[in-house]
Amino acid sequence: MNDKMIFHQLFEKETSTYTYLLADSDTKEAVLIDPVIEMADRDVKLVADLGLKLKYILDTHVHADHITASGEIRKRTGAKVGLSSAYDMACPDLHLEDGQELSFGKYILKVIHTPGHTSGCLSYQVENMLFTGDALLVRGCGRTDFQEGSAEKLFHSVRDKIFNLPDDTIVYPGHDYKGFTKTSIDLEKRLNPRLKLEMNKEQFMEIMSNLKLAYPKKIQEAVPANLQVVYH
């Protein structure tokens, strides 16, 4: 990571969600990834306290466990909201495509389409940092049993796209439930119990089909809100 980048990893404890703030220390242009509505005041205050100009607010996907703060923060800052074009929604300012690049100051953020947890999941790469949302977690991955999820697609997203990045790429997940804050491509290739290189697609799909997880507590309110309301 360039030592001139401003970087903050922020946490929302109810849903164990990470929000990320990245900025160029020279131009003060900033990007906010996956903000949570309950933490909107915190995030806007931090941007103001650091003297930053928020350029983009990017969601990695339409979340089922929390309501995004993207729309609210857009109202307060004038930043542009970005979301995958796969969702075919009118409300984001930017309908992001695989391979698209966004600049903030001297930095380039590259969009990588990594579907599987949902149909429109994106990962964002900035230098040697990768923000994976729920596609790849520390020693885990997002579930694939709703929102057009697909274990097969997620397997290929991780193996063919994420694992093809340099081994020293630092992975910053959308959530963590065990106290980890980051991982690396190399560590997940070796240690991820679902997706490490010695596991094949059939084994992964069997694991994912037998998770038997309860639905997120907020799914009934979060998904409709994130699809229809909060970006306006």
Give the total number of structural domains in the chain.
1
* Encoded amino acid at 35, one letter: P
Domain contains 219: no
Return d(Cα 123, Cα 162) in angstroms, integer: 9
Return d(Cα 128, Cα 166) in angstroms, integer: 8
Check which CATH number belongs to the domain holding 107 and give it: 3.60.15.10
**pTM for the whole structure:** 0.93
Residue 148 has pLDDT above 60, yes or no: yes
Domain contains 226: no
User: CA-based angle 80:8:223, to the nearest 5?
Assistant: 50
The structure tokens listed for 100 are 């698209």
Q: What's the pLDDT at 136?
A: 98
Question: Where does residue 66 rank: exposed (0-12), middle (13-18), buried (19+ CB within 10 A)?
Answer: buried
Residues in the chain, total: 232
Domain contains 223: no
Return d(Cα 120, Cα 146) in angstroms, integer: 12
What is the arithmetic mean of pLDDT over 65-77? 89
CA dihedral 20→156→119→186, nearest 10 degrees, is -10
Domain contains 109: yes
Domain contains 224: no
Q: pLDDT band at residue 67, thresholds of 50, 70 and 90?
A: confident
CA atoms within 13 A on the CB side of 203: 9
Q: What's the pLDDT at 49?
A: 98
* Residue 170 to residues 59, 136, 162, 193, Cα–Cα distance (Å): 19, 12, 11, 18
Tell which wins on pLDDT, 65 or 134.
134
Domain contains 155: yes
Return d(Cα 96, Cα 111) in angstroms, integer: 7
Return d(Cα 211, Cα 115) in angstroms, integer: 19
* Encoded amino acid at 173, one letter: P
Say if CB 231 and CB 92 are below 8 A apart. Answer: yes
Q: pLDDT band at residue 216, thresholds of 50, 70 and 90?
A: low
Supply the mean pLDDT for the chain: 91
Residue 231 has pLDDT above 60, yes or no: no
Place of tokens 């910053």: 172
Domain contains 34: yes
Q: Strands 170-173, 107-113: parallel, antiparallel or unpaired by DSSP?
A: unpaired
Report the number of secondary-structure helices (H) and strands (E) in the chain. Answer: 6, 12
Domain extent for 184: 5-212
Say if CB 118 and CB 61 are below 8 A apart. Answer: yes
pLDDT tens profile 154-192: 999 999 999 999 999 999 999 999 999 999 999 999 999
Domain contains 232: no
